[in-house]
Structure 1
Amino acid sequence: MIIVFGILTLTVILFASDRLRLDVVALMAVLLLLLTGILTPAEALAGFSDPIVLIIAGLFIVGAGLFRTGVADALGQQLVRLAGTGEARLIVAIMLIVAFLSAFLSSTGTVAVFLPVVVSLAQRTGISPTKLLLPLAYASLIGGMLTLIGTPPNIVVSNQLQSAGMTPFGFFSFTPVGAVMLMIGIAYMATVGRRLLPERAHLSGASRDGKTLIDPATLLALYDLPGKLARVQVEPASPLVGQTLAQANLRARYRVNVVDVEPPASQGMIASPQVARSEITLKPMDVLLVKGSADDVARLAKDLQVRVLATGVNPDDLITEETGIVELVLTPRSRLIGHTLREVRFQDAYQVLVLAILRMGAPLDAPTSQVELRFGDTLLVQGDWERIASLLDERNDFVVVGEMRRPPVRRALTRRAPIALAIMIGMLLLISFEVMPMVTAVLLAAVAMVLTGCLSMDEGYRAINWESVVLIAGMLPMATALDKTGGMSLVASGLTATLGAVSPLALMAGLFILTAIFSQFISNTATTVLMAPIALQAAIESGVSPYPLLMVVALAASTAFATPVASPVNTLVLGPGDYRFTDFVRVGTPLLVVMLIASLLVVPVLFPL
């Protein structure tokens, strides 16, 4: 038992430290349980054959089919037409629509779709994005409380009941409680929460034709770029004349990036939008907009006979009729995470330049090409409009946020959109009326998405968040180890003897608080895998119904409001919203307390103790 608690403590510490991927930590825990002889190989690997693992993987594919066919985007665009311009009304509309989608789709995927939509709304209405993006994240978390498939913790607690030989939660068992939590969450964010949210300067302004623009001056200040940009002119005797930018290789030789090339005949125009940046041939008197330290630019000017025309150039030069800037936020399953831009050849692949990187709201000083990227990093990218437009279809590696001079093109509904919608509705009906086991219905829907061409199998594999799948499979054996060694009984007995002795309501409160605290720092799925069997054992020892106790564990696991690392959706809005860690604590903690009180009042009524 001591060994198991030691492994569990080490696992939680590694989860909270964020030094290793969650799935790697889970696999390490499995290996330690094997190497110490606590579990047999069959027991340690049983998680990978658990139905819950296939259910989670299948739901990722179903959700990807809806995104790929444009169904999710079409629902998002309805928000633009219905929301209006009032701040409170926008918050209510955003939270209602996002919560509804999150009840059936991945919360991270829903936020990824709505992130640019909400930023655009903020810019059009002149409201700071900080007032709208945190409600967006919270709505996706609360939306997971509405249905059985809304979030993995719901499936975990239902599976715990089924494993114990009891009737599992139904598809809509969570809906009454979740609906109450959603109404409370919306009321809180539209009133008290809205006033607690910071109001920082938004990054946009409006052009004369009514289109929304990124304000370059504000962006450059946010990324600490003033003073790092300069304009230099190629002298006729310069060895750069006749060379392409690729041949000049200024980034490797002088740590200077060429942002733009302005031919002398047309100042402010990039040499040729049809030619890749690296293939632009330099000519005498060309003016280069470059990014680099003052020392590096001076060394380049001396060695290559170029004249420094100005430093600290006008930020408006970054946005012209041919070129623009935009921000990209890395998603949780981005293939860029753990690599540098140089390693993935980002500039060559997308033909855009990364000017700067923002991490946890602060700009990084290191050269952009040498930074090992992390989830949630925000990249300030500059390139011609055609290249920027091509970034909009990317959803796996990053999400484009911020409005540009040219309005972003949204994914239109494809001819397979009705098929994808029908498949999802069919899956929900099969699960709701218990026509077949849930795992069968989900796998059937996932395969149907592929066979009908809503997405390819490769796209389906890419849509699966394998980190979550392996995390669940790896943490399930921990519960087995706790049960096998008596650790689970010890924790459950401790809760029963202390809080349970006071009242069943106190026991519920203790489970909620413990689960909620863990969920602020580690995966809510991992937390639920650990807490669900403890809640079940505590219910048995206290002689109360396990249903209300498991319900509050599921609810508490979705209250990851108080830290930016509590959930991927919080991290996704961190950069675009320019939030601080304290913003999440100030706004999220009262909401968590309100949810605790509401759970203690509502759950016993719907699920008697």
Structure 2
Amino acid sequence: MSPITITLIVLAAMIALFIAEPFPIAVTAIGASIVLAYTGIIETKDIFSGYNSTTIVLLAGMMVIGSSLFHTGITDMIGEKMVKLTGKNERNIILVTLIVSCLLSSICSNIGVMTAMAPLVTAMCISAGFGPSKSLLALLFGAQFGGFVTLVGVGSNASAANAMADLGLTPFGFFSITPFGLGVCVLGTLYFTFIGSKLIPDTGYVPEFAKTEKKELNKTKATIAAVTMAAVLVVIAANFKAVPMHIAAVIGALVIVGTKCMTLQDAIKAIDWNCMILVGSLTAISTGVKNSGTGDAVAQIILNLLGEHPSTFMITTLIFFASAFLTQVMSNIPTILLFMPIGVSVAQQIGVSPYPIAMIITLAGAASYATPFAAPQNMMTVGWTQYKFIDFMKIGLPMLLITYLVVLLVTPIYMPY
């Protein structure tokens, strides 16, 4: 049996188990990684390689900092004040969450934005008297929408620009992606607020970082927690090479514990270990898809389907959906790095500009909406909300179509072939 066949069987079985969920998602994901290792698709050392990553460290540090806002009493105060503005209306809170996360994620890491905003969003929902799961999923989608607005909005954008340079193209500038991103932000926000949020249930789950007794406001400790959070976000946004995001998060967590805003035991409890296990399990699955040649096979199918004289509509459609499909089961950066040389080659063969194709690959490769394991931040949100695989599909597949619509409409105007 070929590596591609084995990988597709494992993926199909994993997705079926995710949908039926006879076991926790983490058990299925790690089990699939073990099967991939013992069928020779990945090495045994790769099964748990995802846990030795800066993303895990970043999440742990930010969870501690975020939880400190609850422990010092500041989130209750902010939540109550925000609810006075939004009212006890879930749709208003979802809309505000989407807009703010869109804006922040256009210049900051989406994981950083999500871990910073999650405590405040949760506090708003608790103050308003309903569960935070829908609003936390809105936080995820808003952060993903915002990642399309500038070149630094998400790491895969910069990777796409680097891949273009390696292929001899002039990389996209800071705002090259903005017209597409604004379209995704506006339509995506309207979709999630008025349609998408009705497709999923309120799970009633409260994240680990918010599971603490209500604390009285301690002004001194609350100030330390708020300033620490702000300082860490500034460092993340500035993207200092000397102080990477995960180091900034750890320093922030050390400040929180060192100044006794939280005890060490409380800091350990604040880390959502279910979330960490889910995020760590993602890497092995992505590695298996890449190692097996599944991505290369998909790319070859595209070339065969396009033929010698494809229409621009056919190019846009096939390139977009192939990239978008693959990024639901493989990390977005490998997807983009795989498709970029293929896309440029296609452009050269049929005599069109490679830039719109490169943009389509950049956008589709980052459109990781439809599965829990499409991106680390998706897995993180599963840990916060307990949403199931089918919930992600219900709300994510229409969002893929909306992103495709934006690409289809904006490309001929802003970046024609």
TM score, norm. by length of structure 1:
0.48
Letter in 1 for 2:342: E
Q: Determine the structure 1 residue equivalent to 2:17.
A: 14
For residues 37 and 147 of structure 1, what CA distance do their matches in structure 2 show?
38
**CA 1:189–1:535: 2 relative to 1, 3 Å:** closer
Q: Determine the structure 2 residue equivalent to 1:549.
A: 361
**CA 1:12–1:572: 2 relative to 1, 3 Å:** closer
- Residue 433 of structure 1: which of 197, 217, 238 is its match? 238
Of structures 1 and 2, the one with the larger relative CO (CA 8 A, separation 6+) is 2
CA apart distance, 1:572: 6.9
CA apart distance, 1:511: 4.4
For residues 509 and 139 of structure 1, what CA distance do their matches in structure 2 show?
24
Q: Determine the structure 1 residue equivalent to 2:321.
A: 510
- Residue 118 of structure 1: which of 110, 128, 142 is its match? 128
Do the aligned partners of 1:66 and 1:421 also contact (CA within 8 Å) in 2?
A: yes
| Larger Rg computed on CA atoms | 1
For residues 177 and 223 of structure 2, what CA distance do their matches in structure 1 show?
27
Gaps (5+ residues) in structure 2?
A: 148-152, 345-353, 373-377
For residues 596 and 602 of structure 1, what CA distance do their matches in structure 2 show?
10
- Residue 43 of structure 2: which of 37, 40, 53 is its match? 40
Do the aligned partners of 2:295 and 2:338 also contact (CA within 8 Å) in 1?
A: yes
Q: Determine the structure 2 residue equivalent to 1:478.
A: 285
Q: Which has the higher helix share?
A: 2
Residue 83 of structure 2 corresponds to residue 74 of structure 1: no
Q: Determine the structure 1 residue equivalent to 2:114.
A: 105
Q: Determine the structure 2 residue equivalent to 1:594.
A: 402
CA apart distance, 1:537: 0.8
Alignment length (residue pairs): 371
SS at match of 1:555: coil
**CA 1:92–1:491: 2 relative to 1, 3 Å:** closer
Do the aligned partners of 2:50 and 2:283 also contact (CA within 8 Å) in 1?
A: yes
Letter in 1 for 2:144: M
For residues 510 and 78 of structure 1, what CA distance do their matches in structure 2 show?
43
Q: Determine the structure 1 residue equivalent to 2:348.
A: none
CA apart distance, 1:331: 3.5
CA apart distance, 1:163: 11
Do the aligned partners of 2:121 and 2:135 also contact (CA within 8 Å) in 1?
A: yes
Letter in 2 for 1:38: I
CA apart distance, 1:71: 3.9
The superposition leaves residues 181-200 of structure 1 with CA deviations (integer Å, 9 ceiling, x where unpaired) of 4433444567x649x969xx
Do the aligned partners of 1:147 and 1:171 also contact (CA within 8 Å) in 2?
A: no
TM score, norm. by length of structure 2:
0.67
Do the aligned partners of 2:232 and 2:248 also contact (CA within 8 Å) in 1?
A: yes
Letter in 2 for 1:117: S
For residues 96 and 457 of structure 1, what CA distance do their matches in structure 2 show?
34
For residues 607 and 72 of structure 1, what CA distance do their matches in structure 2 show?
44
**CA 1:496–1:467: 2 relative to 1, 3 Å:** farther
Residue 343 of structure 2 corresponds to residue 536 of structure 1: no
**CA 1:425–1:94: 2 relative to 1, 3 Å:** closer
For residues 220 and 416 of structure 2, what CA distance do their matches in structure 1 show?
48
For residues 450 and 174 of structure 1, what CA distance do their matches in structure 2 show?
40
Gaps (5+ residues) in structure 1?
A: 121-128, 149-153, 199-326, 334-393, 400-408, 519-526, 575-580
**CA 1:43–1:56: 2 relative to 1, 3 Å:** same
SS at match of 1:455: coil
The superposition leaves residues 67-104 of structure 1 with CA deviations (integer Å, 9 ceiling, x where unpaired) of 33344433322322223689987775565457678962
For residues 7 and 159 of structure 2, what CA distance do their matches in structure 1 show?
20
For residues 572 and 98 of structure 1, what CA distance do their matches in structure 2 show?
21
Residue 23 of structure 2 corresponds to residue 25 of structure 1: no
| Identical residues among aligned pairs (%) | 22
For residues 90 and 608 of structure 1, what CA distance do their matches in structure 2 show?
38
- Residue 250 of structure 2: which of 443, 453, 460 is its match? 443
